[in-house]
């Protein structure tokens, strides 16, 4: 029924309790194609017109997003890249959950931001848009190969406020220490929240890989902390549904870093003013992580958890950590 590896099932039960089966079954469905309407290049309404040609519709709770519903199993979906608006930079393929997480940071024009695990640049592009090309986004990834697509994507999207830092340089981030209004850690993870798009991945996942990811997550949080200025924010994000990669990692970080405190994602989102009224409804239980997780770790209604079952998005987790002072 669940179609989840046997060894992994207790992890789902820990995360979702009595809803574990429904959550697992939702990961077996086909995912839609979500698009971010890039207002740096074109008003959202104009970009949306291009998407409607493929059956796309606006998302009421995310004004800068459109969704092309998942086709039937025997139907091939159209290629979004064939849309004229895509080549012009009006559109970016990005799951609605990923877009929503970026908005929930409240990061706006003028901020100094470090995207520490930028990869191909999806969240760097989203942040640049909501910053209206004002301020600075520093995009970095310790694996320089993952950064290769970002340069072309930034150019196509009309982003002018992003700097890509090359990990091969000597001390590529040294000048940013203690200066960032916000640091985004989109941490490496098992990707359990994206199984709709990568259904074979669940059968390749092993316990040893989970443990490796947990160690990497601890390390990147330690690496991120010194870049946050006093009063600034550290945002920890994964596309995993597992507590071991999410709440447990934040709990471990806070246990060894007394200079940070967990704050409410919904309060940060409200203060930022970027999330619509309909979007704020997505920030109420059960999405604010209300479920108990057994003896190891306490429930935190300050964190955000999205999933195909509850929000119709890929699975994401987000915690907001304030640097004291």
Residue 266, CA distances (Å) to 17, 96, 194, 280 in order = 23, 17, 23, 7
- 316-323 and 62-68 strand pairing: unpaired
CA 312, CA 322: separation in Å to the nearest integer? 29
CA 116, CA 185: separation in Å to the nearest integer? 6
Q: Is residue 294 a contact partner of residue 199, using CB atoms and an 8 Å limit?
A: no
Q: Is residue 295 a contact partner of residue 177, using CB atoms and an 8 Å limit?
A: no
Query: 96 preceded by cis ω (within 30°)?
Result: no
Tokens matching residue 198? 């990568």
Q: Which of 252, 282, 110 is nearest to 181 (CA)?
A: 110
Tokens matching residue 258? 């007394």
Which of the residues 104, 117, 239, 243 is marked catalytic? 239
Cβ neighbours of residue 262 closer than 8 Å, sequence gap 6 or more: 250, 254, 300, 302, 303, 319, 320, 321, 322
Q: Is 243 a catalytic residue?
A: no
Catalytic center residues: 239
């Amino acid at each position: 029924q669940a179609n989840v590896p046997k060894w992994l099932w207790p992890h789902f039960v820990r995360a979702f309790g009595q809803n574990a089966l429904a959550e697992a079954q939702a990961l077996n469905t086909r995912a839609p194609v979500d698009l971010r309407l890039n207002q740096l290049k074109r008003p959202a309404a104009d970009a949306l017109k291009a998407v409607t040609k493929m059956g796309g519709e606006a998302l009421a709770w995310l004004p800068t997003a459109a969704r092309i519903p998942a086709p039937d199993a025997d139907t091939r979906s159209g290629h979004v890249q064939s849309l004229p608006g895509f080549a012009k930079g009006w559109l970016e393929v990005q799951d609605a959950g990923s877009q929503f997480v970026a908005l929930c940071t409240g990061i706006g024009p003028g901020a100094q931001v470090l995207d520490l695990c930028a990869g191909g640049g999806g969240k760097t592009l989203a942040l640049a848009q909501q910053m209206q090309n004002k301020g600075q986004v520093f995009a970095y990834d310790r694996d320089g190969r993952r950064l290769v697509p970002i340069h072309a994507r930034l150019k196509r999207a009309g982003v002018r406020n992003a700097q890509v830092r090359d990990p091969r340089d000597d001390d590529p981030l040294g000048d940013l220490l203690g200066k960032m209004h916000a640091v985004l850690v989109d941490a490496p993870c098992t990707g359990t929240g994206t199984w709709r798009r990568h259904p074979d991945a669940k059968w390749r996942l092993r316990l040893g890989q989970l443990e490796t990811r947990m160690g990497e997550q601890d390390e990147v949080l330690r690496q991120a902390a010194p870049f946050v200025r006093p009063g600034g924010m550290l945002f920890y994000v994964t596309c995993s549904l597992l507590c071991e990669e999410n709440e447990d990692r934040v709990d471990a970080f806070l246990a060894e870093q007394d200079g940070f405190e967990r704050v409410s994602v919904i309060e940060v989102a409200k203060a930022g003013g970027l999330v619509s009224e309909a979007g704020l409804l997505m920030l109420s239980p059960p999405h604010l992580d209300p479920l108990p997780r057994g003896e190891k770790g306490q429930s935190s209604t300050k964190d955000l958890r999205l999933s195909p079952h509850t929000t119709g998005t890929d699975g994401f987790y987000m915690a907001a950590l304030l640097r004291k002072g």
